[in-house]
Structure 1
Amino acid sequence: MNGGDGGEAAAATAGPPAPLEWKFSQVFGERSAGEEVQEVDIISAIEFDKTGNHLATGDRGGRVVLFERTDTKEHGRNRKDLEKMDYPISRHPEFRYKTEFQSHEPEFDYLKSLEIEEKINKIRWCQTANGAVFLLSTNDKTIKFWKVQEKKVKKISELNVDPSKVCSAASSMVSSSPKQYLSNGSYPDRSHFSSRNDGLPDGIHSLRLPMITSSETSLIARCRRVYAHAHDYHINSISNNSDCETFISADDLRINLWNLEISSQSFNIVDVKPANMEDLTEVITSAEFHPTHCNMLAYSSSKGSIRLIDLRQSALCDSHSKLFEDLEAPGSRSFFTEIIASISDIKFAKDGRHILSRDYMTLKLWDINMDSSPVATFQVHEYLRPKLCDLYENDSIFDKFECCLSGDGLRVATGSYSNLFRVFGCSSGSTEATTLDASKNPMRRQIQTPSRPARSLSSSITRVVRRGSESPGVDSNGNSFDFTTKLLHLAWHPSENSIACAAANSLYMYYA
């Protein structure tokens, strides 16, 4: 006991960890100067698996792209395995392209005269087994369960075999076979065959024998199950349960519970649809299972609240066990209050003790044992408050930014405009607040193009200075911001300080 107390005292006096120094690692799909980005190539979902050895992205074209980790210092492989690798061992996390497959296609709902986009809304990894990886992907209406594994590819090799072997094989075949009779009992007339010196017909020499080989391996993606026709509204979330058997899917008004093995039916556990749709005041924006307790999940709403529900209390969980809500200051209400209060994403910390939420202006960290107020609030877009009217007119105010936590729970991150992402320290006493330009690749020769706004060099890695903007179009760091470039999707490696973030069609990797 005394030793434990001494350790806690030492930790208390040590203070918060030092701010991390972030460095660029690599980029996939970076566009060249002046290249236009195709709409279907824009990344719309990103997710690490539990080990951090695989990374998946989904795009608006319905494709899922998988990346695998290539630096193997933590993977427990022996020297012989490392010598066989066809890529160098790095000192920081590095990934390479593994495979891609078409997950969803555009559809048309004839009953509702509604087009269903192929855009991937969410990707979630499932348990791996026998060298195969499994994942769930969803568009607005349909969830699919995919299995990706290596299989030997059977190919037909060169058809022309060694002529000497053909001759010897054909000779033995002719000599060993009995004479064939025609239907009238006579022998066939061989006078029309032209023979070579070996006495074999020309047809034998041109004989083609197909040979099948299976030396190469290829990654094959196969759709194992399709979970469809369970949502009337657009699916915004899917989340795996810690029991590895069930998962939830959420749309604007309902949350359904599925069994991975059963695609024909689901169980509705949350339904916030009013009897009269005119009475509708809020919608579900995000939902996630607790990382360790299979009976608990949380979902957020457009009113800025988070509800924690317990599946043990009732089969239909319309009543919550806890409500987390940050009440606004009296007299501060405006036309935009409800819009900017809407939570676009929630994430449980790895230990399950905290929930991170992102609304338009802030990141908030909640302790599930304290529902009165967030334990920490981080200002992300405070400098945009004077421009809310412009943001409303160009629909930017409805952008849905995601958030993520580090594996150790000491830091949180989220995206912003001008392809910036921000990292905040959330341990007690921490003042860490770092802003990085994800698309600023130091290994690329910088070429100014008219299509992209110029940014100052200081915007690559800068410290956040908490002050208001001094001129329109300038953020808290004094850098001009661009609403057309936005970093909506990012993910933190589950066990290391490494962040993958998506800017348009490019995937950028940073580490600290």
Structure 2
Amino acid sequence: MKGSCDVDAGTTAAESSIPPLLEWKFSQVFGERAAGEEVQEVDIISAIEFDKSGDHLATGDRGGRVVLFERTDVRHHGFRKDLEKQDCPITRHPEFCYKTEFQSHEPEFDYLKSLEIEEKINKIKWCQTVNNSLFLLSTNHKTIKYWKVQEKKVKKFSETNIDTSENGSIASSSITATRFVPDGAYAERPHSHLSNEFSIPPGGSSLLRLPVVMSQETSLIPKCRRIYAHAHDYHINSISTNSDCETFISADDLRINLWNLEINNQSFNIVDVKPANMEDLTEVITSAEFHPTHCNLLAYSSSKGSVRLIDLRQSSLCDNHSKIFEEREAPGSRSFFTEIITSISDIKFAKDGRHLLSRDYMTLKLWDINMESGPVATFQVHEHLRPRLCDLYESDSIFDKFDCSLSGDGLHVTTGSYSNLFCVFGCVPGSNEATTLEASKNPMRLQVQNSKSARSMSSFTRGVRRGAESSSDSNGNSYDFTSKLLHLAWHPTENFIACAAMNSLYMYYA
């Protein structure tokens, strides 16, 4: 894969010496398909999210299911009480295990609009953990659900308490039958007066059979606490929880709504870009996210390649932005594909809250929210595909939406690409670090690091053609446009990346 890292002048996430290059190694894989195995559409992963502690990871798929993973390499994480009693191994990188899964959304049909609503999970966001219970939000195109996952003890029972005597006959037990008499008093009668159904079996007497508790197993029980529905006319593309732990936002193409977690029948429209005449529509909302520490700030991106920062304290309807971050178009560079490739598919705030990362089709851009003049760093991801934009348009690949993510320390950024590749860039001033790996059990077979010159990164991928949907550039590099790594997430505290390739979840550490 071809890539480059162009760092502009400015202040980035870390004003320190250039850190050493990260050496990425394979950690784990869940759900890897066998050679030639056909992947079901419903099993394709469509969302990935770590919680704030990094102890839990959630994935959603196109079948409407949410799968939870829990960290197991260190003690005292989450609600793993069973591990607290053991001497758990402490490794130098996170390790996760499967915990549970549940059906979050089902396919629906909107009879008023004659529209099918698929069950695909678009986004997952973690909420605050309370009393060892996990809370998270999940959404498909129209409906948001608030889930609580709690660890409970489930009792297991034996069939009955059948006891036998020494000679093998059924032990006797005294049973008294009752019946009503006309005056309302109770009368007792012996077994001989019972009906045939309750008669004493030959060779023994009747037995009162009661279940007996054999064991108490711990199990995770998911419960849908609230459903937030009927608030969006268009497909929901983003949800984001607020730092106040009380509210969250949901965004579709034209509107952003503010919700209270405790109220599911009312929301407040805080951004509305719908024009009076839909023929005058020039841009749509593509992503939205709350500031990590300031509950009054949020940012949203648009299909025109701009990111707007708004302050909820200024107005109840935030039609006017506080700041706008967009890069000026070079004279004479506009083409038929310009608006498509500049549309931003994802934005993420850095943990420090000062920097913002945006991903469009061609590049990653790192912004300083105190500087609107331009990005402080630009990372070329798909520049090598520019000569093939016409082919990508014909196959609809040009409309693919790739996620982006930042490391917890703000020193690195990552995003996905085709052929199940993902790229990691260093964003410290003076760093040209760029690494590309393939989502595979053996990532070392396709890993190139560069720390000298952006020009020498023209031969990142050296692969074999994978079929009719593959293509190659002038350098002979092969790209499979049917295998795309759209979703990935960086661990909040460690150099650890989880990424999805079709139905498989791969994890890497450095």
TM range (shorter): 0.7 to 0.9
Alignment of 1:190-205 (within 5 A): 190=192, 202=203, 204-205=205-206
Tell me if the contact between 1:469 and 1:478 (Cα under 8 Å) persists in the aligned partners: no
Aligned to 1:84: 86
Displacement of 1:162:
2.1
Measure, in 2, the Cα distance between the counterparts of 1:107 and 1:213: 41
| Closer, same or farther: CA 162–112 of 1 in aligned 2, 3 Å | same
Whether the 8 Å CA contact 1:193–1:201 is kept in 2: the answer is no
Q: 2:50–2:56: 8 Å Cα contact kept in structure 1?
A: yes
What SS is found at the alignment partner of 1:344?
A: strand
Letter in 1 for 2:125: R
Checking the alignment, whether the CA contact within 8 Å between 1:126 and 1:240 is kept in structure 2 is yes
Residue 505 of structure 1 is aligned with which of 499, 503, 506?
Answer: 503
Q: Distance in 1 between matches of 2:195 and 2:397?
A: 82
**Matched position secondary structure for 2:489:** strand
> What is the DSSP-based 3-state SS (H/G/I as helix, E as strand, rest coil) of the residue aligned with 2:398?
helix
Q: Deviation of residue 15 (structure 1)?
A: 2.6
Deviates more, 1:158-167 or 1:492-501: 158-167
Q: 1:113 to 1:351 in 2, by over 3 A?
A: same
Measured after TM superposition, the shift of residue 188 of structure 1 is 6.6
1:222 aligns with 2:223: yes
1:59 maps to: 61
List aligned pairs for 1:248-263, cutoff 5 A.
Answer: 248-263=249-264
Deviation track 1:187-208 (CA, whole Å, cap 9, x = no partner) reads 87959999xxxx9975635543
Contact persistence 1:182–1:188 (CA under 8 A): no
Q: Whole-Å Cα distance in 2 between the matches of residues 83 and 254 of structure 1?
A: 49
Classify 1:298/1:31 alpha carbon distance in 2 versus 1 (closer, same or farther; 3 Å): same
Rate the CA distance shift 1:429–1:475 in 2: closer, same or farther, 3 A: farther
Between 1:67-76 and 1:459-468, the stretch displaced more is 459-468
- 1:108-507 counterparts in 2 under 5 A? 108-164=109-165, 170=172, 173=174, 190=192, 202=203, 204-205=205-206, 207-213=208-214, 215-438=216-439, 440-442=440-442, 458-463=445-450, 465-467=456-458, 473-474=471-472, 479-507=477-505
- Kindly report the root-mean-square deviation, in angstroms, between the aligned alpha carbons of the 2 structures: 3.3
Distance 1:495 1:164, change over 3 A: same
Unpaired runs of 5+ residues, structure 2, are 1-13, 463-469
Structure with greater proportional strand content: 2
- 1:180 offset after TM fit, Å? 10
Q: Report which of the two has the higher share of helix.
A: 1
Report the CA distance shift for 1:469/1:348 in structure 2 as closer, same or farther (over 3 A).
closer
Unaligned runs of 5+ in 1: 1-10, 444-456
Preserved contact between residue 248 and residue 257 of structure 1 (Cα < 8 Å): yes
What is the aligned residue count? 478
Percentage identity across aligned positions? 74
Cα distance, 1:150 vs. partner? 1.1
Distance 1:80 1:346, change over 3 A: closer
1:408 partner SS: coil
- Cα deviation for residue 130 of structure 1 reads 1.1
Structure 2 distance, partners of 1:430, 1:263, is 47
Residues 210-219 or 338-347, more deviating = 210-219
User: Is contact 2:177-2:189 (8 Å) kept?
Assistant: no
The CA distance in 2 between the partners of 1:500 and 1:355, in whole Å, is: 20
- After TM superposition, the score normalised by the length of structure 1 is 0.86
What secondary structure does 1:268 align onto? strand
Deviation by residue 1:307-344 (Cα, 9 ceiling, x = unmatched): 00000000000110001110110001000001000000
After superposition, give the CA deviation of every residue in 1:455-504 in whole Å (9 maximum; x if it has no partner): xx752445473348999933698531100000000000000000000000
In structure 2, what is the Cα distance between the partners aligned to 1:424 and 1:406? 10
Tell me if structure 1 keeps the 8 A contact 2:31–2:505: yes
SS at match of 2:472: coil
Q: 1:200 to 1:117 in 2, by over 3 A?
A: closer
The residue type paired with residue 25 of structure 1 is S
Matches of 2:180 and 2:153, distance apart in 1 = 45
Q: 1:475 to 1:151 in 2, by over 3 A?
A: farther
Q: Give 1:25 deviation, angstroms.
A: 0.2
Equivalent-residue separation in structure 2 for 1:32 and 1:22 (angstroms)? 24
Separation of aligned partners in 2, 1:370 and 1:58: 35
CA distance in 2, matches of 1:436, 1:476: 21
Q: Secondary structure at the match of 2:457?
A: coil
| Alpha-carbon separation, structure 2, partners of 1:499 and 1:288 | 21
Q: Alpha-carbon deviation of 1:131?
A: 1.1
What is the TM-score of this pair, normalised by structure 2?
Answer: 0.86
Write out per-residue CA displacement over residues 11-49 of structure 1, whole angstroms, 9 at most, x where no aligned residue.
97x731111000000000000111001000000000000
